[in-house]
Amino acid sequence: MTQETADGAGVAPPGTGADARFAALPRRPGKVIAVHLSYASRADQRGRRPAHPSYFFKPSSSVAASGGTVERPAGTELLAFEGEIALVIGTAARRVPLAEAWDHVAGVTAANDLGLYDLRGNDRGSNVRSKGGDGFTPLGPRVLDARALDPAALRVRTWVNGELRQEGTTDGLLFPLAQLVADLSQHLTLEPGDVVLTGTPAGSSVVGPGDVVEVEVDAPDAAGMPSTGRLVTTVVAGTHAFDGDLGSLPAVDDVQRAEAWGSRAAAGLEPEPERFRLTPALRERLRRAPTAALSAQLRKRGLDDVTVDGVLPMHPDARLVGTARTLRLVPHRADLFASHGGGHNAQKRAFDTVGEGEVLVIEARGETGSGTLGDVLALRAHVRGAAGIVTDGGVRDHDAVAAVGIPVYSRGAHPAVLGRRHVPWDTDVAVACGGCTVVPGDVLVGDRDGVVVIPPALVEEVVDAALAQEEEDAWVAEQVAAGHAVDGLFPMDAAWRARFEAWRAQR
């Protein structure tokens, strides 16, 4: 292994042939393990902070040396760089305590965890295809002796064509470096030569043919400012395209473009339209308003077709209040399901992106011959803080979904998977659910009677009128219970109205 000398210089052993890829390392690593999210800046950019680290494997065949090239495959557009600190394991680690974990790290070097977002949709989580390509893990050029370093005082920086794009220090980690080693050792043996990629800070973006990416790891506060030197990788255009007869083809959408570039603006996309948001006070008022009263007030304003018909609550005593996110399912067709049904399809994207206080509304055309969600997706929506799910189709794993606890309205249970009747097609578009048009941002309220849809522009006046009507109806019910006839009381004539107003004025 190349070690940093006292004067800051490092010497890498010469590599020949295929071994040149591992020139900076003591040997070809048996395992390369990468962390999904570890820097607070990156997690905040993604809009989620994990409670615990999660990992994926990269093949050792993806390792490359400094000064090399990496191909962006033909027919792709979203090759992204990620400058990272890489740990080289020195002694075997199995179930090591946190206090001893750093002792098992022999060296620290720079890494570029390159990834191809074009393949991410059909590879989400495992990253085998999107991050496992040849040359997708450059390492080096020098490995610093971990014993001489403070793991809490390291820095990683990334340049593209000489412009600084990323800078992060280990004091910005959600999970300290030693924790990653100790945690991994709970599950598997880290062996000498294994490499752990410890995540990237904010600033990762897309590079193309001709771009030069440089990554450096250093300890700026340590004596002599030890540094790995700059890990240099040049992007070149690939000439080989993927064969769709063998596996999934590259595919991108605006979600992948925004994530690859770092933002919609950086990707040259229009900003997402501002969605209507319920204030806590308005949400509470909606919780107190029965759907029957809300429906009556909507009818007074000329809106009769604002109920989701044919759906029943899985939890009749639960209240549903939230703003709509939508998923559209189209009738099953084998060729369309082959192109749209696999990987991180529209159904999975919808459940992966539904936000806190939102209701996922699924257009299933009233088709009950398959499930439109199951327990795993219900759990995903619940973990993300969704207010509920409304589908005019079926639900698989009915009892398990019920146990999740999230309010669900559906047309009943069915054991078959989505692909028996549907193709997941699109998200965040106007949908028809239970005979009602639902637009993203509409307000949905549900109780035992059913689900009503309220246009955002009317929600304030409708809920206030509904609550006022509830107060009036409760008073009328008291009069009827006291023995009064309904004639003239329900609805109230002038005399009864005067008595009601007098009662209300005294409260």
- Residuewise pLDDT in 10s, the chain (507 residues): 444 433 333 333 434 345 899 999 999 999 999 999 999 999 888 777 888 999 999 999 999 999 999 999 999 999 999 999 999 999 999 999 999 999 999 999 999 999 999 998 777 668 999 999 999 999 999 999 999 999 999 999 999 999 999 999 999 999 999 999 999 999 999 999 999 999 999 999 999 999 999 999 999 999 999 999 999 999 999 999 998 888 888 888 888 898 899 988 899 998 877 778 899 999 999 999 999 999 999 999 999 999 999 999 999 999 999 999 999 999 999 999 988 888 778 999 899 889 999 999 999 999 999 999 999 999 999 999 999 999 999 999 999 999 999 999 999 999 999 999 999 999 999 999 999 999 999 999 999 999 999 999 999 999 999 999 988 888 999 999 999 999 988 888 999 989 888 888 887
**Are 451 and 489 part of one and the same domain?**
no
**Residue 269 resides in a domain:** no
Tally of domains in the chain? 3
**Are 493 and 396 part of one and the same domain?**
no
The residues with which 453 forms a beta bridge, in sequence order, are 444
Q: Are 35 and 193 in contact (CB under 8 A)?
A: no
**Residue 391 resides in a domain:** yes
Domain end among 419, 439, 457: 457
The pLDDT value recorded for residue 124 is: 66
Name the token pair of 96. 């090591």
**Residue 273 resides in a domain:** no
**Are 326 and 201 part of one and the same domain?**
no
- Residue 377, marked binder: yes
**Residue 423 resides in a domain:** yes
- Residue 396, marked binder: yes
The pLDDT value recorded for residue 116 is: 95
**Are 156 and 293 part of one and the same domain?**
no
| Length of the chain counted residue by residue | 507
- Residue 121, marked binder: no
Domain end among 198, 230, 261: 261
Q: Are 384 and 325 in contact (CB under 8 A)?
A: no
Contacts of 245 (CB under 8 A, 6+ apart): none
State how far the Cα of 72 lies from the Cα of 193, in Å rounded to an integer: 28
What is the CATH classification number for the domain harbouring 351? Answer: 3.50.30.40
- Residue 376, marked binder: yes
Residue with tokens 């890990």: 231
The pLDDT value recorded for residue 125 is: 65
**Are 71 and 199 part of one and the same domain?**
yes
Q: Are 408 and 387 in contact (CB under 8 A)?
A: no
**Are 472 and 443 part of one and the same domain?**
no
**Residue 72 resides in a domain:** yes
**Are 444 and 474 part of one and the same domain?**
no
The DSSP 8-state label assigned to residue 492 in this structure reads B
Q: Are 398 and 374 in contact (CB under 8 A)?
A: no
Phi, psi dihedrals of residue 217, rounded to the nearest 5°:
-115, 130
**Are 409 and 479 part of one and the same domain?**
no
**Residue 13 resides in a domain:** no
What is the CATH classification number for the domain harbouring 185? Answer: 3.90.850.10
**Residue 1 resides in a domain:** no
The pLDDT value recorded for residue 8 is: 37
The pLDDT value recorded for residue 506 is: 87
**Are 394 and 497 part of one and the same domain?**
no
**Are 55 and 136 part of one and the same domain?**
yes
The pLDDT value recorded for residue 6 is: 35
**Are 485 and 412 part of one and the same domain?**
no
Domain that holds residue 92: 25-239+246-261
**Are 346 and 426 part of one and the same domain?**
yes
The residue among 322, 283, 327 whose CA lies nearest residue 406 is: 322
**Residue 201 resides in a domain:** yes
The residue among 254, 389, 364, 237 whose CA lies nearest residue 312 is: 389
